[in-house]
Amino acid sequence: MELSTVLQNYINGQWCTSHAIDFLQVINPATVECLAKVPLSSAIETEQAIQAADQAFVNWRKTPAGDRIQFLFKLKILLEENLDNLAETITLECGKTFAESKAEIRRAIENVEVACGIPTLMQGYNSEDIARGIDEFMIRQPLGVVGIICPFNFPGMIPFWFMPYAIACGNTCIIKPSEKVPLTLQKVMHLIEQTGLPPGVLNLVNGAKEVVDALLEHPKVRAISFVGSTPVAKYVYSRAAANGKRAQCQGGAKNPVIVLPDADIETTTRIMADSAFGCAGQRCLAASVAITVGSAQKTFTEAIAEAAQSRQVGYGLDKGMQMGPVITSASKARIQDLIQKGVEEGAKALVDGRNPKIAGYEAGFFVRPTILQNVDPAGKIATTEIFGPVLSLIHLETIEDAIALINRGQYGNMACLFTSSGAAARKFRYEAEAGNIGINIGVAAPMAFFPFSGWKDSFFGDLHGQGHHAVEFFTQTKVVVERWQDWSRQF
């Protein structure tokens, strides 16, 4: 893909030049180089994709599940063969380290592998002779056309929370990538094209709010999958529900981690540094608040400060880098403003990562790892999703107080505990109000055969992405009760 290329949409098996009037630049956040221009497509172009998907659904739903997954088997091989190329693209447009980008594609491949089990995962159940001569059984059928709206922070993974399950279940799809990072899905769609997937089964429309609204309003779109901020998740969920659609909307997070005195501090620090600063803190499972209990305050504070100061920050394609830039200059400014707000609220910038000088990449959108000590539990810095490499430290005297603080929070995406006590671990996983729980784990990211959970303002809907939840979301159940005359009388 040449630099400054104007990206295309993929509709009904064809790459199409958008008729958009407005375009955005896709910027490498480390080098500030323009990688491409993305069109802000119109509702009319979205309508074309929806019509193509609706027409393709007629035959796709009739395709046996065993035949549908053959395209996914081919896709798995293509993703593995092109893993490094896809990872490089993620780093170019998203800013992650190359290792982080490769791990992201590995997660995508895992979801393809799980979705290849659809012939079993879609099975219903039956009961013979519920009454004399009467049988009853349940089957699963696809919904129809579904829309997938993607965020910027995992352009290669998050679409795969939904897409492979949707098409394996017999649905047809329209995907809208984030306008900040559309290049990865362009390459993925070229790979999907090589599988021979029938035209119209999977379509891609670049754009922004106009495309989203068109998907939310169109009567032929039966379901919406979304990942993004909580305010937008609420908007998408409410509009989808008002129009009679299913919706699964993953929102923001403020992930707390408790460190008990009996935790292994060396291991805890290493894991926590990766959690808080990996992907520059731009992931919905990044540790954001560390709550130390008792004597853990001194040992953990000293260790995590050293880890933050020593982290190698730079261009993600350079060797040895442990963290890249944040996504845009606006994100950098917002993160730094929040750090300042925390200081104004009384926190101490134990490690201050604002306005770093990264040799060779002085114009890049870099914020170094930041540690804020003695953060006010009720202050803005402790309750706002920062989405950057900032870890707030709060100290409490008991695990009961720490769990109570967690449960007062607005969000419920992830909560973690570091301890060597089985009793403490059991208490925590039972009482903590979050959908993803980690015990001595810094990023409690579910494997593809488990749902990516989330509670409170971190999720709107009933069924999450991945695994059995995805299969249930992308199918509707039909219960059949049938009676036949005694077959013996026919002979």
- Which tokens in the block code for residue 42? 């119109």
The token pair at 360 is 């060779």
- CA–CA separation, 336 and 228 (whole Å): 21
d(CA 300, CA 320): 25
Torsions phi, psi for 354 (to 5 deg): -75, 145
Q: Contact, 168 vs 162, CB < 8 A?
A: no
CA distances to 74, 188, 288, 322 from 253, in Å? 35, 28, 9, 23
Residue 477 belongs to what H/E stretch? strand 475-483
User: Rounded to the nearest 5°, which phi and psi values hold at 263?
Assistant: -70, 150
- Cα 220 to Cα 146, 176, 215, 292, 326: the distances in Å are 9, 16, 9, 51, 37
The active-site residue out of 94, 249, 284, 416 is 284
Q: Which residues contact 305 (CB under 8 A, 6 or more apart)?
A: 350, 351, 371
Phi/psi of residue 224, nearest 5 degrees: -130, 130
Amino acid identity of residue 372, one-letter, is: L
Give the helix/strand (H/E) hosting 98.
Answer: helix 98-115
What are the tokens at 216? 């939310």
CA distances from 14 to 3, 197, 199 (A): 22, 12, 8
Distance separating alpha carbons of residues 149 and 266, to the nearest angstrom: 39
The amino acid at residue 87 is A
The crossing angle, in degrees rounded to 10, of helices 43-60 and 209-217 is: 50
284 carries an active-site annotation: yes
Determine the Cα–Cα distance for residues 374 and 190; give it in Å rounded to an integer.
50
Q: Which residues are catalytic?
A: 284
